[in-house]
Amino acid sequence: MIYDVVIAGAGVIGSMIARELTKYELTVCVLEKENDVSCGASKANSGIIHGGFDPEPDTLKAKLNVEGVEKLFDAAKQLNVSIIRNGSFVCAFSEDEEEHIKALYERGIKNGVKGMEILNGEQARKIEPNLSKNITLVLSVSTAGIICPYELTIAAIGNAMDNGAVLKTNFEINKIRIIKDLFSVYSNDGDNVKAKYFINCAGTYSDKIAGLIGDNSFEIICRAGEYMLLDKCEGGLISHTVFQVPSKEGKGILVTPTVDGNLLVGPTASLVETPDNKETTALGLEKVRNLAGRSVENINFRNVITSFAGVRSSEKNGDFIIEESKAGNNFFNVAAIDSPGLSSCVAIAEYTVSLLRRKGMCLVSNKNWNGNREDPHKFKKLSDDEKNKFISKNSDYGKIICRCENITEGEIRAAIKRNPPAKDLDGVKRRTRSGMGRCQGGFCGPAVMRIISEEMGIPMSEITKKGNKSKMISGRL
Amino acid sequence: MINHDIVVVGGGPAGMAAAIAAYDNGVRDVVILDREKNLGGILQQCIHNGFGLHKFGEELTGPEYANIYSKKVAERGIEVYNETTVTDISKEKIITATNSNGILKIKAKAVILAMGCRERSRGALNIAGTRPAGIYSAGTAQKLINCEGYSVGERVVILGSGDIGLIMARRMTLEGAKVEAVCELMSYSGGLTRNIVQCLNDFNIPLYLSTTVVEIHGEERLEGVTVAKVDSKNQILEDTKRYIPCDTLLLSVGLIPENELTRSIGIELNNITNGAEVNQNRQSNIDGVFACGNVLHVHDLVDYVSDESEIAGKSAAKYVNGQLSGGKEIDVKAENGIRYVLPQKINLENTEDIALLMRVDKPYDRVQITVKAGEVILANVKRIRAVPGEMEKIIIKKEGLVNICDSITVGLEEI
């Protein structure tokens, strides 16, 4: 078959564009090189919805961030993804930094950001008692918020699939042939997909994908950011997202509650050679620990439950690249989406579709489109009576598998069945939170492996942590 | 809402022993809530022997030890809710639990907390590097091997020389894997001496002290780890770094009492034991809530867990029968060289002889441990060697507790 659109990359951008396209009578195929969606920067970032004061005025970043915030809140509501408008604080520690805060405020006004206010240290500490005593001035932005980025990505692609989009995982693109007006896309394994339009959302690999049609107009700079996630017992330390004054490398080390109630600190920003360089380093983690303690006091790092790194892609000009490639008719690059990419993702999707429309793509509304997706954590939120009804219909909901997060066998089985299906332990973890808690899968791991094996009809020896060769066991005794 | 006199949360060795003791001390309406299919808890996966030496004078396997207790539970007709997970306990002792019949609410007169402990994970250690498959806590690997019948890897490094790590070094070797190294951050092992001899020395598995894993390598499955020696302040000595190829890393780096439910009742935890603070009856600061076993503090031997749980069960029965109320409480404090003492409080009402359990803060040769009330010496023992991995027990006589109004202190001095 020939698809109308093929999208390279099932990160938050590719997934949101896929969902946007299913609003129309179009056939859409998303190609993802990993075993699951949301495996790149979309799974390992701060999960912050930025107010929009940071990007330089008149850039795509400024426009799409400010436009994108409300659109994202609306989409998250439809998709039943937790989103909290907790507000953000940008903190200054010195006179120099106070000047910077004032400049950010001015820039925010230019960008059209609402809900900004400048507070002195004392006022800010009244709201956030654990804020450092050394903070002298704070830019408060009430429109900012937090979201779980992989949950959003999973929901977006899942909803796109519910509306007819096709997802092909383990499809690593190694060749694109342009035959007349068609893109013929080949995978490493010789699989082939044909489409009329190509949208390149390949994140840190987007320059290499563009290179496959001879487009060498941009080069992705990879920057790794390391994070530490703390137990829920630390989650109540602050309610706002607390930034320090940004530097050239990024928005600095932040301290934020997550939508799930944990505390997240990070990221560092170090240039890395390869996009796959997702290692944490002793130095990086040390830096996170030290700098986080600079803005928020009383963080107990004994309660760290995991640390991780994500690789962000940027480009030397500093702005998003969202345009048709000069090297290929109907080939669109949506690249260099670093911060505020998550905040802008819905706006980016709409903007991309508007470029397609301008190119003459015929967009007929899909009358059957349903933008709603059932909440994967619905069960947990039910009253006891409602839970009992659920359990009486399906007793799997009465078996708690993950004791840290109280996740039931029913929820895990559902995550393996629904769009996009979980196929490995990390996939189950991102969808259900089983294994996400303080024991990090120590107790539930073997049970989740058994459930995957039963649902997918594959032997235990085939169960992986994250696809390919990441096998969990080496054989039968 | 269902009513029960005593609800025991957890059906491992602690929960079973407590339930039996409660029953034997006159309370018939005792129930056990357990999340597994069968009673026994972690003992079910401990198929090696060495259990029961103190309690029964013979070396039993984990399941054998558990069976002795599960039989007693059955003989007494103590009701067990299997595959039932407790999700909340309120101050009013209303227990919320989930099983395949739905959500249960149970109102108890007394609650015995016996949830055991969990293993520290890789994340809590902040080891740098990648996040491949092949990194297991020792207990998870033990479960996959012993209960499910799968091998987890072929070339193994073990971080931490706690008892589970040592047991697993032998177990993996017996299953044909090559254990390249057991690394221990401290300058001494936290495991029992007998396990070092029987599990490492007998199989020529090297134990590297003052050594830790500093980096993890491999994208999909683990490919190797970098280990390095540390100095006396646990700082990594850069020039001692070396790479060990392996496909499996087992972590045996400490156990953490599983006290989320304890917190939900509103009981504050002791920051050394990570468990509730209790008096000699194993009663917490909330009347009618008792705790025992590894949820209270991590024990060396299951035999000691059973002993402690019998105290908790008996006390809960007394509480239900109205024989345990009031009384003045004094503090028991750990001083010089003692990391913690349990119980943390002593109730002076109708007390019997009391066993104080404690751990020293580092290895010592030739020490004297003294229990005092002010200047009065209540007990005094000498040890040729004392190590943190082996719990010390000192009995104080009830006669000594008459006329005490101050706190009790426990400290050691080298002799």
Instruction: Please tell me the distance from the alpha carbon of residue A79 to that of residue A75, in angstroms, as a whole number.
Output: 6
* Same domain, yes or no: A57 and A14: yes
Strand order through the sheet with B248-251: B135-137, B248-251, B155-159, B178-183, B207-208
Domain total in chain A? 3
Output the domain CATH number for residue A343. Answer: 3.50.50.60
Are A109 and A174 within one domain?
Answer: no
Question: A324 near A332, Cβ under 8 Å?
Answer: yes
The answer as to whether A213 is a domain residue is yes
Beta-carbon contacts of residue B177 (< 8 Å; ≥ 6 apart): B151, B153, B154, B155, B156, B248
Residue B191's pLDDT is 87
Domain ends where: A329, A349, A373?
A: A373
| pLDDT per residue as tens digits for the range B362-388 | 999 999 999 999 889 999 999 999 999
Closest partner residue to B151 among A388, A443, A474, by Cβ? A474
Q: Are residues A67 and A170 both part of a single domain?
A: yes
Spatial separation of the C-alpha atoms in residues B143 and B149, rounded to whole Å? 9
What is the distance in angstroms between the Cα of A416 and the nearest Cα belonging to chain B?
20
Q: Are residues A198 and A226 in the same domain?
A: no
Express each pLDDT in B305-327 by its tens digit: 999 999 999 999 999 999 998 88
Q: Answer whether residue A246 shows pLDDT above 90.
A: no
Say if CB A387 and CB A398 are below 8 A apart.
Answer: no
CA A420 to chain centre: 15
Judging contacts by C-beta atoms under 8 Å, the chain B residues touching residue A439 are 118-119, 121
A421–chain B nearest CA distance, Å: 20
The CATH T-level fold of domain B121-253 is FAD/NAD(P)-binding domain (3.50.50)
Test A442 with B150 for CB contact under 8 angstroms: no
B327-415 in CATH: which number? 2.60.40
For residue B81, give Cα distances in angstroms to B6, B100, B262, B292: 13, 11, 20, 19
B389: pLDDT strictly greater than 80: yes
- Give counts: helices (H), strands (E), chain A: 13, 23
Structure tokens at A368: 């059957």
Contact flag B150-A475 (C-beta cutoff 8 Å): yes
The verdict on a CB contact (< 8 Å) between A443 and B152 is: no
Q: How far is B315 from chain A (nearest CA, A)?
A: 29
Distances B171 to A377, A445, B143, B167 between C-alpha atoms, Å: 39, 20, 12, 6
Judge contact between A268 and A226, C-beta under 8 A. yes
Mean pLDDT score, B336-362: 94
Does residue A250 carry a pLDDT above 70? Answer: no
Average pLDDT over residues A349-363: 96
Whether A140 and A118 have beta carbons less than 8 Å apart is answered as: yes
Instruction: Of A208-212, B38-42, B325-329, give the lowest mean pLDDT range.
Output: B325-329
CB within 8 Å: B152 and A473: yes
pTM higher than 0.80: yes
Examine residue A42 and state whether it is found in any structural domain, yes or no.
Answer: yes
Neighbours of B132 (CB within 10 A): 20
Query: What local confidence, expressed as pLDDT, does residue A25 receive?
Result: 98
Contact present, B216 and B135 (Cβ < 8 Å) = yes
Looking at the partner chain, which of A284, A307, A477 has a beta carbon nearest the beta carbon of B151?
A: A477
Residues A355 and A383 reside in one and the same domain: no
Amino acid residing at B283:
Q
The phi-psi region of residue A336 (left if phi > 0; otherwise alpha if psi is between -120 and 50; otherwise beta) is: left
For residue A95, what are the contacts with CB-CB under 8 A and spacing of at least 6? none
Peptide bond preceding A420: is omega within 30 degrees of 0, i.e. cis? yes
User: In chain B, which residue's Cα lies nearest the Cα of A302?
Assistant: B124
A 192-251 → B contacts, CB under 8 A? 228-229, 233
Catalytic residue ranges of A: 50
Whether A282 contacts chain B with CB within 8 A: yes
The residue among A150, A200, A203, A153 whose CA lies nearest residue A336 is: A203
A387/B102 touch (CB, cutoff 8 Å), yes or no: yes
Beta carbons of A285 and B98 less than 8 Å apart = no
Residue B71 corresponds to which tokens in the numbers above? 């039989």
Average confidence score pLDDT of chain B:
95
Q: How does strand B211-217 pair with strand B224-229?
A: antiparallel
Per-residue pLDDT tens over the stretch B205-250 = 999 999 999 999 999 999 999 999 999 999 999 999 999 999 999 9
Tokens read off for A299: 């963080």
Considering CB atoms only, which of B118, B129, B247 is closest to A442?
Answer: B118
Question: Using a CB-CB distance cutoff of 8 angstroms, which residues of chain A are in contact with residue B219?
Answer: 276
Whole-angstrom distance, CA of residue A323 vs CA of residue A332: 6
- Same domain? For A293 and A228 the reply is yes
Q: Which of A279, A306, A395 sits opposite B130 (nearest CB)?
A: A279
Distance from CA of B217 to the nearest CA of A (A): 9
- Would you say B394 and B356 are in contact if contact means Cβ atoms under 8 Å apart? yes
Continuous H helices in B196-350:
260-265, 302-320
Domain range holding A403? 378-462
Task: Report chain A's mean pLDDT, rounded to a whole number.
Answer: 95
pLDDT at B402: 83
Asked if pLDDT for residue A247 goes beyond 80, the answer is no
Whole-angstrom Cα distance, residue B51 to residue B57?
A: 9
Residues A306 and A346 in one domain: no
In-domain check, residue A475:
no
B27: amino acid identity, one letter: V
Most A CBs within 10 A among B33, B36, B148, B264, hence the mutation to make, goes to B148
At residue A183, φ and ψ (nearest 5 deg) are -95, 125
Q: Which residues of A touch B137 (CB under 8 A)?
A: 442
- Specify whether A66 is located in the same domain as A156: yes
Position B307, amino acid? D
Helix (H) or strand (E) holding A74: helix A60-79
CA–CA min distance A396, chain B (Å): 7
State both tokens at A219.
């080069």
- Residue B236 CB burial class (10 angstroms; 0-12, 13-18, ≥19): middle
Nearest neighbour of A470 by CB, restricted to B133, B137, B145:
B133
CB of B196 closer than 8 Å to CB of B204:
no
Q: B24 φ, ψ to 5°?
A: -65, -15
Tell me which of A432 and B375 has the higher pLDDT.
A432
Cα B317 to Cα B323: distance, rounded to the nearest angstrom: 9
- % of chain A at pLDDT higher than 70: 99
Beta strands B135-137; B354-360: pairing state: unpaired
Which two structure tokens, joined as six digits, stand for B306?
């059973």
Q: What is the pLDDT of residues B258-310, one digit of tens each?
A: 999 999 999 989 999 999 999 999 999 999 999 999 999 999 999 999 999 99
> β-pairing, A2-8 with A28-31?
parallel
Residue B268 φ/ψ, nearest 5 degrees: -80, 145
Instruction: State how far residue A242 is from chain B, nearest Cα, in angstroms.
Output: 23
Q: Which of B100, B144, B215 sits opposite A399 (nearest CB)?
A: B100
Task: Decide if A446 and B140 are in contact by the 8 Å CB cutoff.
Answer: yes
Residues from chain B that touch A281, judged by Cβ atoms under 8 A, are 128
Q: How confident is the model at residue A249 (pLDDT cuts 50, 70, 90)?
A: low
Q: Which residues of B touch A438 (CB under 8 A)?
A: 118, 121
8 Å CB contact of A306 and B98 = no
- The distance of A65 to chain B (nearest Cα, Å) reads 32
Q: How many CB pairs under 8 A join A and B?
A: 139
pLDDT higher than threshold 90 for residue B401:
no
Domain membership of residue A467 (yes or no) is no
Rounded to whole angstroms, how far apart are CA atoms A450 and A35?
Answer: 19
CATH topology of domain B1-118+255-325: FAD/NAD(P)-binding domain (3.50.50)
Minimal CA–CA distance to B35: which of A399, A423, A363? A399
Q: How far apart are CA B254 and CA B272, in angstroms?
A: 13
Could you say which residues from 417 to 456 on chain A have a Cβ atom under 8 Å away from some Cβ of chain B?
Answer: 438-443, 445-446, 450
Closest CA to A307 of A209, A249, A230: A230
Which of B85, B86, B174, B226 best tests the A interface by mutation, with the highest count of A CBs <10 A?
B85
List chain B domain ranges: 1-118+255-325, 121-253, 327-415
| B215 chain-A contacts, CB cut-off 8 A | 282
Q: What is the pLDDT of residue B312?
A: 98
Residue A53: the pLDDT is: 94
**A303 shares its domain with A392:** no
- When pLDDT is averaged across residues A356-376 and rounded to a whole number, the result is 95
Helix, strand, coil % (nearest 5) of chain B? 25, 35, 35
Stretch A167-178: mean pLDDT: 97
A345 and A457 housed in the same domain = no
Q: What pLDDT, on the 0 to 100 scale, is given for residue A248? A: 63
* Same-domain status, A70 and A152: yes
pLDDT tier for residue A300 given thresholds of 50, 70 and 90 = very high
- Is A305 buried (19+), middle (13-18) or exposed (0-12) by CB count in 10 A? buried
Residues A68 and A153 in one domain: yes
- The average pLDDT across A377-404 equals 94
